[in-house]
Amino acid sequence: MLDAPTDAIANTQRAAREQAKTYTVGSYLAERLSQIGLKHHFVVAGDYNLVLLDQLLSNKDLEQVYCSNELNCGYSAEGYARAHGAAAAVVTFSVGALSAFNAIGGAYAENLPVILISGAPNSNDRGSEHLLHHTLGTHDNSYQLEMAKKITCAAVSITSATVAPALIDHAIRTALREKKPAYIEIACNISSVPCAAPGPISGVVAEEPSDPETLNAAVEAAVAFLRKKQKPVMLIGSKLRAAGAEKEAVALAEALGCSVAVMAAAKSFFPEDHPQYAGIYWGEISTPGAREIVDWSDAVVCIGALFNDYSTVGWTAMPTGAGVVTADMNRVHFEGHDFSRIRLRDFLAALARKVEKRDATMVQYGRIRSPRAPEKPAQPDAKLMRAEIVRQIRPLVTSNTTVIAETGDSWFNGLQLELPRGARFEIEMMWGSIGWSAPATFGYAVGAPGRRIIALIGDGSFQLTAQEVAQMIRRNLRPIIFLINNHGYTIEVEIHDGPYNNVKNWDYAGLIQAFNAEDGHGRGLRATTGGELAEAIRVALANKEGPTLIECVIHRDDCSADLISFGRQVSIANGRPPRPE
Ligand code: TPU
Ligand code: MG
């Protein structure tokens, strides 16, 4: 550490250096990305963004991470945001950005601040008679910005260096506040043009405070409401993390003393080893006791909950009625009250300080809880089955593990894993785009290099975005991928079957060899029995230099009981006839 006078000199020198430094639009953007804590940005090059990429490279605190295509680039950034709080992806105009839009829609649905940056046509060509490549071949090139406005919380087009700082700051600030993606398009001739130096980052990252009077009123009303109730229960939803309120939820739980159930999309957002943890509430496919305790309660405090057709199992499981308290990211409402402009974190913390103990649901849950039945290992040479895969994965999950579960039966397999304190679970349940998990695993691994990542991915999903395993190999990242090969879209089979649910088989282990080419250290293994799986896991744990993919071959119809029930209810919900006209 420097002593005080030397410190002052160093500060003056730094300020002088900053003044002398000329910023360009691109280096300004890089500085802002670095200041909000990003260490990486995900990139696919294209002629509209090449000069911008040079400018971003000039920031030594920011590393460029290359992706195989723009869809994967978007998903990688989305995975990085899950690990790191925010992320940036840089793509080229239209041919790149339109592919990335799927992932950006996902970031919107999943409440993740991903900044999508697109190179764009030269400012001189705007409104001119020139037709440009990578466009629709019309003279109006505003369509990408217009599309971006629908799937981001802020979308800006930069064609002038003078206004660039304000527009960049606006986009980043809005994304961080709203926990939603933002879009910045920069004309290719503008990114190297000098612009103003960035002001203090506090102006960009400052959070909107709760309105103190509203907060107070909401807490008073909630305390009075809960005083009248005998059996409150807490239900944790996926927006709890986006609200930055995980600790405060634990504090409220401990003050109330009640049972705490989580929704599937919020697995790991409340510690599973906490004595008040009562499992996953998901209608008829809840973990044992969770549904019963929520149904038994007389007040369900829903915190950051997100109810859709999937999370309610085809609208069969949704807490309703006068006992429901909805505590959302910026709003609380219940029985005759509606309060906005209060932050969830502040509300939970203040409520925890004032609320009276109500532990009836905890006492009752203690009576009805049933420990998971012990699982019997399969014979080592018996045909591999889904249940045996889950059984063998369980001991791999430690406090340093993140489990990433892809859409499909992998959701249900992942949800069956118990998480020790510190383990994390990532699922894309609102957007549910197959193909998300391979690049999200890549991005997550870049963002959390010290963590052991276990990805559960179905064969159908993997085929959308498999290339990103090559990027894991390129960076010597070490996730373990359990590729569940049931030769089809089994989740769709359970909802509605037909020939369209069959998947062309691949040689998945061979694919990793192909990705390795001359210098990679990925391992690809195939398990058809429990014995082969155990051996493959041993090899995976010993592979210190790259990812390991274990193809787990099971029967097309070997799926979890939960998926069968889920599929039936979703099929009923999808098949409701239209209302009479
Ligand atoms: O375990 P399993 O067999 O269900 O998983 P797999 O093999 O990954 O199959 C997933 C099947 C699936 C589809 C085809 N799940 N949802 N869909 C519909 C779908 C189509 N396209 C995108 C981008 N996302 C989707 N969810
Ligand atoms: Mg499958």
**pLDDT tens digits for range 358-378:** 999 999 999 999 888 889 999
pLDDT score recorded for residue 2: 40
pLDDT score recorded for residue 298: 96
Where do we find the tokens 């119809």?
Answer: 557
pLDDT score recorded for residue 204: 94
| C-beta atoms surrounding 344 within 10 Å | 24
Collapsing DSSP states into helix, strand and coil, what is residue 310? coil
First to last CA, the chain: 75
Lowest mean pLDDT among 73-77, 189-193, 573-577: 573-577
pLDDT score recorded for residue 494: 87
Task: Please state, in angstroms and rounded to a whole number, the distance separating the CA atoms of residues 414 and 244.
Answer: 24
For residue 507 the two structure tokens come to 């040689």
> If you take atom 14 of ligand 1, which residue's CA is the nearest one?
489
Ligand 1 atom nearest the C-alpha of 458 is: 8
Question: Is pLDDT at 529 greater than 70 in this prediction?
Answer: yes
pLDDT score recorded for residue 214: 98
Q: What percent of the chain has pLDDT over 90?
A: 89
Lowest mean pLDDT among 150-164, 165-179, 445-459, 567-581: 567-581
Where do we find the tokens 């639009």?
Answer: 25
Cα 410 to averaged position of ligand 2 atoms, centre (Å): 9
| C-beta atoms surrounding 270 within 10 Å | 22
Beta bridge partners of residue 484, listed in sequence order = 458, 552
Ligand 1 atom nearest the C-alpha of 408 is: 4
Task: Please state, in angstroms and rounded to a whole number, the distance separating the CA atoms of residues 504 and 14.
Answer: 59
pLDDT score recorded for residue 436: 98
Lowest mean pLDDT among 60-74, 460-474, 486-500: 486-500
In single-letter form, the type of residue at position 53 comes to L
pLDDT score recorded for residue 581: 83
Ligand 1 atom nearest the C-alpha of 410 is: 1
Once rounded to an integer, what is the mean pLDDT over residues 222-249? 97
Strands 87-91 and 40-43: parallel
- From 71, 99, 404, 407, give the residue whose CB has the most ligand 1 atoms within 8 Å, as the site to mutate: 407
**pLDDT tens digits for range 70-86:** 999 999 999 999 999 99
In single-letter form, the type of residue at position 415 comes to L
pLDDT score recorded for residue 504: 97
**pLDDT tens digits for range 490-500:** 999 888 889 99
Cα 460 to averaged position of ligand 1 atoms, centre (Å): 6
CB-based contact 481:472 (threshold 8 Å):
no
pLDDT score recorded for residue 3: 45
Strands 331-334 and 324-327: antiparallel
- From 386, 461, 482, 574, give the residue whose CB has the most ligand 1 atoms within 8 Å, as the site to mutate: 461
pLDDT score recorded for residue 15: 60
Question: Is pLDDT at 293 greater than 70 in this prediction?
Answer: yes
Within 6 Å (CB) of ligand 1, which residues are found?
407-410, 432-435, 458-461, 484, 486, 488-492
CB-based contact 151:116 (threshold 8 Å):
no
Alpha-carbon 457 to chain mean position: 16
Q: Exposed/middle/buried for 556, CB within 10 Å: 0-12, 13-18, 19+?
A: middle
Question: Is pLDDT at 1 greater than 60 in this prediction?
Answer: no
pLDDT score recorded for residue 495: 87
Question: Is pLDDT at 339 greater than 60 in this prediction?
Answer: yes
Looking at the chain, how many residues does it have? 581
Question: Is pLDDT at 557 greater than 70 in this prediction?
Answer: yes
Task: Please state, in angstroms and rounded to a whole number, the distance separating the CA atoms of residues 26 and 39.
Answer: 16
For residue 93 the two structure tokens come to 């105009």
Sequence-distant contacts of 427-431: CB under 8 A, at least 24 apart: 427/264, 427/265, 427/267, 428/106, 428/110, 429/238, 429/264, 429/265, 429/310, 429/311, 430/109, 430/110, 430/238, 430/265, 430/306, 430/308, 431/105, 431/106, 431/109, 431/110
| 433 band by pLDDT with thresholds 50, 70 and 90 | very high
Question: What is the pLDDT of the chain when averaged over all its residues?
Answer: 95
Question: Is pLDDT at 522 greater than 90 in this prediction?
Answer: yes
